[in-house]
């Protein structure tokens, strides 16, 4: 009986052990989310001159700041506001000489590229009524920064986010400059 | 005959209208044609120059990346980040991990620091900084530095050389780096001055002269100042 009890205790203690994968001393810890926009750089949504929300501009301003275009971000905030359409935003970017890329066809490769290169992008949600910043996309998870609540990142399963985006006209847009350097490893 | 001709024309018109749609369709959705060359630069390294915007030393170092040809070349091969201490991004991502200001830090795409120097540890010249960065890149990539006798040979090799021209238009933010798919940078090794053979002979001769004269001087000193007994 004692032996059985001893074996059970031993089994229980072993079952609780967590086996950590040894990645080696030099394996860098990946920053999550990939586009880890600091709180001070996050732009909240605001009402434009016509009383509309400025979610597209707010998302772009957060991304401008992340990509070190601080003066561009300030200029954008002073100059633009209200709701936005893809073609109109593209025209504004062209007019201001901004380097950018966008899709309106729900091509997921664009989102993967934006997160892989650590730039992030604005994506439409809520049936196209709102834009948030996509700050992470891996094979399981996505994270967004919602300009209506910039306190925290919102994590959702990858497929859920992609389905939501595709059902919202599949518009994604981002400036193309150097992203903030990763935290030192 | 006319009817046949007309029907052939109609068929051709139908095909002409359908073919481009098929060509543009990717995974069932109509592809945007605007996005054709997205930079696949996820492997690019980062160089951050961090400091106080009013510090002359910081501004001097920033200027090196426009004046020194090798540093200018490097600047266009990496994500070049100018960070001043009065910005929120400095407070959030640098203030806690720099050893002093100004700082020059080079990182791999995954964040691994391959070179970092701050304050008085920074090289005094642009050439010195370039040499230090070149050494760090070689060490990080496990590459031996190019030996002096091979340097000219390397330079003689033909190859495409990016030659970015400065944009004269005024920009409120610094000029962005060119868009490309670059990975790790290729930093020019700093050429070291090789001593010519006559220089070596001159140094040897000087050494002999110093040795002889110091020996003679010692003898003369001993002769003039007899030891106290």
Read off the pLDDT of each residue in B22-42 and give the average, rounded to a whole number: 54
CA distance B129 to A63: 31
Which CATH number is A42-175's, of 3.40.50.720, 3.30.9.10, 3.90.70.10, 3.10.129.10? 3.90.70.10
CA distance B71 to B49: 12
Q: Where residue B68 sits, what CATH number does that domain have? A: 3.40.30.10
CB neighbours of residue B185 within 10 Å? 20
In three-state secondary structure terms, A39 is: helix
Chain B interface, best mutation among A38, A162, A181, A185, by max B CB count within 10 A: A181
CB neighbours of residue A91 within 10 Å? 11
Question: Between these two residues, B202 and B44, which has the higher pLDDT value?
Answer: B44
Asked, for residue B59, whether it belongs to a domain, the answer is yes
DSSP class of residue B195 equals P
Q: Are B177 and A179 in contact (CB under 8 A)?
A: no
pLDDT of residue A23: 42
- Quote the ipTM score: 0.83
pLDDT of residue B24: 38
CA distance A101 to B202: 64
CA distance A34 to A120: 8
Question: Which residues in chain A (73-92) have CB-CB distances under 8 A to chain B?
Answer: 75
CA distance A71 to A67: 11
Q: Do A106 and B29 touch (CB under 8 A)?
A: yes
User: Which residue blocks in chain B are alpha helix, DSSP H?
Assistant: 2-24, 56-67, 69-75, 88-93, 126-141, 148-156, 197-224
pLDDT of residue B200: 72
CA distance A175 to A114: 10
pLDDT of residue A26: 54
Read off the pLDDT of each residue in A109-138 and give the average, rounded to a whole number: 98
Residue A26 touches chain B, beta carbons under 8 Å? yes
Q: Are B47 and B105 in contact (CB under 8 A)?
A: yes
Count of alpha carbons within 13 Å of A26, Cβ hemisphere only?
5
Q: How far does chain A reach from its first CA to its final CA, in angstroms?
A: 53
Beta bridge partners of B104: B49, B117
B87 interaction partners in chain A (CB closer than 8 Å): 70
Domain count, chain B: 1
Place of tokens 């996309």: A137
A178 interaction partners in chain B (CB closer than 8 Å): 46, 79-81, 176-177
Residue A47 touches chain B, beta carbons under 8 Å? no
pTM for the structure as a whole:
0.71
For residue B198 the two structure tokens come to 């006559």
DSSP class of residue B74 equals H
pLDDT digits (tens, 9 = 90+) for B122-163: 999 999 999 999 999 998 887 655 555 555 554 555 555 455
pLDDT of residue B211: 76
Read off the pLDDT of each residue in B107-115 and give the average, rounded to a whole number: 96
Q: Do B31 and A75 touch (CB under 8 A)?
A: no
pLDDT of residue B31: 36
B48 interaction partners in chain A (CB closer than 8 Å): 181
pLDDT of residue B174: 81
Beta bridge partners of B29: B26
CA distance B156 to chain A (A): 32
For residue A102 the two structure tokens come to 């966008």
Which residue in chain B has the smallest CA separation from A111? B38
Residue B225 touches chain A, beta carbons under 8 Å? no
Most confident of A73-82, B138-147, B195-204: A73-82
Residue A178 has pLDDT above 50, yes or no: yes
State which residues form the domain around B102.
46-146
Q: Do B172 and A65 touch (CB under 8 A)?
A: no
């Amino acid at each position: 009986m004692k032996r059985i009890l001893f074996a059970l205790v031993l089994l229980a203690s072993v079952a609780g052990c967590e086996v950590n994968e040894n990645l080696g001393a030099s394996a860098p810890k990946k920053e999550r989310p990939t586009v880890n926009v600091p709180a001070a750089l996050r732009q909240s949504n605001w009402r434009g001159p016509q009383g509309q929300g400025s979610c597209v501009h707010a998302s772009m301003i957060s991304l401008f700041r992340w990509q070190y275009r601080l003066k561009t971000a300030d200029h954008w905030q002073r100059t633009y506001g209200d709701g936005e359409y893809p073609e109109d935003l593209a025209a504004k970017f062209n007019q201001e000489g901004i380097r950018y890329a966008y899709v309106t066809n729900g091509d997921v490769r664009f989102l993967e590229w934006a997160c892989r290169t650590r730039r992030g992008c604005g994506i439409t949600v809520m049936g196209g009524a709102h834009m948030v910043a996509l700050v992470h996309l891996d094979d399981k998870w996505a994270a967004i920064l919602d300009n209506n609540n910039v306190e925290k990142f919102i994590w959702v399963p990858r497929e859920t986010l992609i389905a939501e985006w595709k059902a919202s006209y599949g518009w994604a847009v981002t400036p193309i400059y150097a992203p903030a350097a990763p935290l030192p490893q | 005959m006319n009817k046949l001709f007309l029907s052939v024309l109609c068929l051709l018109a139908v095909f002409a209208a359908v073919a481009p749609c098929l060509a543009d369709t990717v995974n069932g959705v109509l592809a945007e044609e605007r996005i054709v060359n997205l930079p696949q630069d996820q492997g690019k390294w980062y160089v951050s120059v961090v400091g106080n915007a009013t510090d002359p030393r910081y501004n001097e170092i920033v200027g090196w990346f426009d004046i020194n040809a090798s540093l200018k070349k490097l600047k266009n091969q990496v994500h070049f980040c100018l960070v001043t201490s009065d910005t929120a991004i400095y407070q959030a991502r640098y203030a806690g991990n720099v050893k002093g200001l100004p700082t020059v830090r080079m990182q791999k795409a995954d964040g691994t620091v391959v070179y970092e120097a701050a304050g008085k540890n920074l090289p005094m010249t642009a050439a010195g900084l370039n040499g230090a960065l070149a050494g760090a890149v070689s060490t990080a990539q496990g590459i031996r530095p190019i030996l002096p006798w091979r340097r000219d040979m390397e330079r003689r090799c033909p190859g495409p050389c990016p030659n970015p021209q400065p944009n004269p238009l005024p920009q409120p933010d610094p000029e962005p780096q060119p868009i490309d798919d670059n990975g790790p940078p290729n930093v020019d090794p700093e050429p070291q001055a090789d001593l010519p053979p006559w220089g070596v002979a001159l140094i040897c001769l000087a050494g002999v002269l110093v040795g002889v004269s110091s020996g003679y001087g010692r003898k003369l000193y001993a002769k003039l100042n007899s030891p106290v007994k």
